[in-house]
Structure 1
Amino acid sequence: MKRRQFLTAAGTGLAAGAVAMPAIAQSMPEVKWRLTSSFPKSLDTIFGAAELFSKAVSEATDGKFQIQVFAAGELVPGLQALDAVQNNTVEMCHSASYYYVGKDPTFALGTAVPFGLNARMMNAWFFHGGGLEVLNEFYKKSGVYMLPGGNTGTQMGGWFRKEIKSVDDLKGLKMRIAGIAGQVLAKLGTVPQQIAGGDIYPALEKGTIDAAEWVGPYDDEKLGFQKVAQYYYYPGFWEGCAALNFFFNEAKWNELPEVYRSVLTTAAARANADMQASYDAKNPGAVKRLVASGAQLRPFPQEVMEACYKAANEIYEETSAKNADFKKIYDHMRAFRNDEYLWFQVAEYTYDNFMIRARARG
């Protein structure tokens, strides 16, 4: 297979798991980039996506395209990764779009919004539903280009020092939670705090916050949240998935030869698929260990779920009324989600529901 044909096929995701690609012609230029991550090295799955991406790019180009990866705080704080790309401090970053809702709430739609898409749907929307096109039309206004860079799957609802039995228990609660989800809970009396992943544990330990959500069992165990909060709630309705993002400085992206842009697209697809698979493999064992160490699993009460669903839709209406970009992309995503659930309720849900019940029966 010719190199161009291989890269084109791989860019569709069909060859995302390939170990290596044919070497780039010796005439291609040497390029050295820097990538800053929003995540600490201790979170090997989520930080590891950037390392896997960098390695894949180097292997595909016989080392002619080198991307040095920096953890959160090594070059810039984790929540300033996108800013570093915009001002050309670095050529690219690995982050979560919803960290930047302070710039524009539309940024949330590239990662997750409450009661949004699950991981399967998010990738379908990105690659086959027009999601990447409408998002990159928006990101272009900020001088960046985005490729999907992983997904955590549906997240947990977080760690709480006290039980949540009703909506009233959310009032006055100081909780680490990012993006529009914080605005939803604020409508119900919660006081949202945006704190980078590596800073959550000390905030919980010192009582600066009363609750925190992060990702799920594997990462939460690594961060030790079970030592400072007892109740572990599910599901994280604000993140039916959490898509991570590779953001590229648009000018730097456009300067690259076409074949290098194709290599980056292929490497991103590999990292995107690997993260979800890694979390799915690691979370079951982690949740068993957390429960064995004293964590108490609790589902959010139906009353809380319904109240948050109502508050979320109010926020979407309010935001859409004053932000045309948000309305355009949210309406696009919502229509896709609603059609997807027509299908999921026929096949995915009925199959999973049967298998879960069958497992419980032994």
Structure 2
Amino acid sequence: MPRGGGVQGGLGVDRRKFIFKAGLAGGALATGSALAKPALAQSAPEIRWRLTSSFPNTLDTIFGGAEVLSKTISEMTDGRFNIDVFPAGELVPGLQALDAVQDGTVEAAHTACYYYVGKDPTFAIGATIPFGLNARQQNAWLYHGGGNELFDTFLAGYGVKGLPGGNTGVQMGGWFRKEINSLADLKGLKMRIAGLAGRVMEPLGVVPQQLAGGDIYPALERGTIDATEWIGPYDDEKLGFYQVAPYYYYPAFWEGGLTVHFLFNKERYETLPASYKVALDTAAKAANINMLALYDVKNMQAIRSLVGKGVQLRPLPRDILDGAYDSAMKLYASLSESNPKWKAIYDPWKTFRSQSYEWFRVAEYSYDTYVYSQQAAGK
């Protein structure tokens, strides 16, 4: 009995020790679980940002790029990272979006960087410059040709981080109150035109004006301006330009493939968890792809509608294109001599452009030219 009792007693003590230790371990696990939740919350914090757009919400396709970003970010983070989108003029005027991001009034903006060439002409290269890249070439340069890295280095000097957030494709040459038959008809013409295109057109006699989208129609109606460019048939029809300017010219040599950017306050961007930065990049890419696809569908329908309303669709005269091309090349050479920031991006961009044009002439251009000619012939 004593031996048996000793065994039982020993087992009892060991069992009590085991249960006690297990209890401590269980408590530690429970405590660990309790601690794990705050740790997880710290790695995926709840964040709410404000984004100001340079575009009115009536232009659903280009304004909608910011809404795509907002929706995608929220869904990818289970609602923990939210971006509230505000149309142009609700928080700040459309052309002051960059300033609002810089000074921390908002954390983000959706804008066309060529609006800010008054600060530095280099802003335009990230968006589009006259006789530049088409949409596919622009995406290739930005994502895999070093463009994003070069442009981000430039933007960092303004306390901003950028991500491509949409592309309009090749735009239209714009609406004119009177017919344009030659280069001589541009003399004294007051035209709303954005980016570096105004500086290209000035030597040809055009008087460039910079207006936000919502201000264009009344200026055109009153005759404050004689012509305007905006984007393309879908947006232009919604803005009603055809009602006050019957001549619609193509193409916009100054915008072969406009990239719209998301700009983020760099200091705020750097505080984001790595996973949120990945989500932001992914959402911006979704907005970029979606915008171009939407415009390609909507523009092909809108151009038929506009012609049906009596719009006079005309190609820009060749002497205007030639004159503008020469003017653009002279401007770029001058900027390369006087502006080191411009030169740092323009030189590699120009090399990419040349090589890309060579490839596209072999493949895309030859294919497109043939199939379009067959369609035009009714085959």
User: Considering the TM-score relative to the shorter chain, is it more than 0.5?
Assistant: yes
Q: 1:210 aligns with which of 211, 216, 226?
A: 226
Q: Which position in structure 1 is the counterpart of 2:375?
A: 359
Tell me, in whole angstroms, the C-alpha distance in 2 between the residues paired with 1:335 and 1:27: 42
**Aligned AA (1:327):** K
Q: 1:333 aligns with which of 349, 362, 372?
A: 349
Equivalences for residues 302-317 of structure 1 within 5 A: 302-317=318-333
Q: Which moved more, 1:325-334 or 1:276-285?
A: 325-334
Deviations 1:167-217 (A, max 9, x none): 111110000001110001111110000000011011100111000000000
Q: 1:111 aligns with which of 127, 140, 147?
A: 127
Tell me, in whole angstroms, the C-alpha distance in 2 between the residues paired with 1:42 and 1:355: 35
Q: How far did 1:29 drift?
A: 0.4
Tell which structure's C-alpha radius of gyration is larger.
2
Q: Which position in structure 1 is the counterpart of 2:174?
A: 158
**TM-score in terms of structure 2 length:** 0.88
Which secondary structure does the structure 1 equivalent of 2:84 belong to?
strand
Tell me, in whole angstroms, the C-alpha distance in 1 between the residues paired with 2:320 and 2:74: 48
Tell me, in whole angstroms, the C-alpha distance in 2 between the residues paired with 1:157 and 1:262: 37
The alpha-carbon distance between structure 1 residues 210 and 62, as it changes in their structure 2 partners (threshold 3 A), is same
**Aligned AA (1:41):** N
2:186 paired with 1:200? no
| Partners of 2:43 and 2:273 within 8 A in 1 | no
Tell me, in whole angstroms, the C-alpha distance in 1 between the residues paired with 2:94 and 2:320: 31
Q: Which position in structure 2 is the counterpart of 1:80?
A: 96
Equivalences for residues 65-76 of structure 1 within 5 A: 65-76=81-92
Q: 1:149 aligns with which of 159, 165, 170?
A: 165
Q: 2:49 aligns with which of 7, 22, 33?
A: 33
**Aligned AA (2:195):** G
Q: Which position in structure 2 is the counterpart of 1:64?
A: 80
Q: Which position in structure 2 is the counterpart of 1:91?
A: 107
**TM-score in terms of structure 1 length:** 0.92
2:270 paired with 1:247? no
**Aligned AA (1:240):** G
**Aligned AA (1:245):** H
**Aligned AA (2:116):** Y
Tell me, in whole angstroms, the C-alpha distance in 1 between the residues paired with 2:266 and 2:256: 29
2:221 paired with 1:167? no
Q: Which moved more, 1:324-333 or 1:83-92?
A: 324-333
**Aligned AA (1:122):** Q
Q: 1:185 aligns with which of 197, 201, 209?
A: 201
Q: How far did 1:294 drift?
A: 1.1
Deviations 1:77-120 (A, max 9, x none): 00000000000000010000000001000001111100011100
Deviations 1:19-74 (A, max 9, x none): xxxxx979510001000000000000000000010000000111110100000000
The total of aligned residue pairs comes to 339
Q: 2:301 aligns with which of 285, 295, 319?
A: 285
Q: Which position in structure 2 is the counterpart of 1:261?
A: 277
Q: How far did 1:146 drift?
A: 0.4
**Aligned AA (1:62):** D
Moved runs in structure 1, 4+ residues, more than 3 A? 24-27
Tell me, in whole angstroms, the C-alpha distance in 1 between the residues paired with 2:361 and 2:347: 21
More helix by share: 2
Q: Which moved more, 1:326-335 or 1:284-293?
A: 326-335
Which secondary structure does the structure 1 equivalent of 2:150 belong to?
helix
Cα RMSD (Å): 1.0
Tell me, in whole angstroms, the C-alpha distance in 2 between the residues paired with 1:218 and 1:25: 44
2:137 paired with 1:124? no
Which secondary structure does the structure 2 equivalent of 1:347 belong to?
helix
Q: How far did 1:332 drift?
A: 1.3
Q: 1:220 aligns with which of 194, 214, 236?
A: 236
Which secondary structure does the structure 1 equivalent of 2:70 belong to?
helix
Tell me, in whole angstroms, the C-alpha distance in 1 between the residues paired with 2:108 and 2:43: 24
**Aligned AA (2:181):** K
Q: How far did 1:274 drift?
A: 0.3
* Structure 1 unaligned residues grouped into runs of 5+: 1-23
Tell me, in whole angstroms, the C-alpha distance in 2 between the residues paired with 1:342 and 1:318: 25
* Structure 2 unaligned residues grouped into runs of 5+: 1-39
Tell me, in whole angstroms, the C-alpha distance in 2 between the residues paired with 1:71 and 1:257: 27
Tell me, in whole angstroms, the C-alpha distance in 2 between the residues paired with 1:26 and 1:328: 40
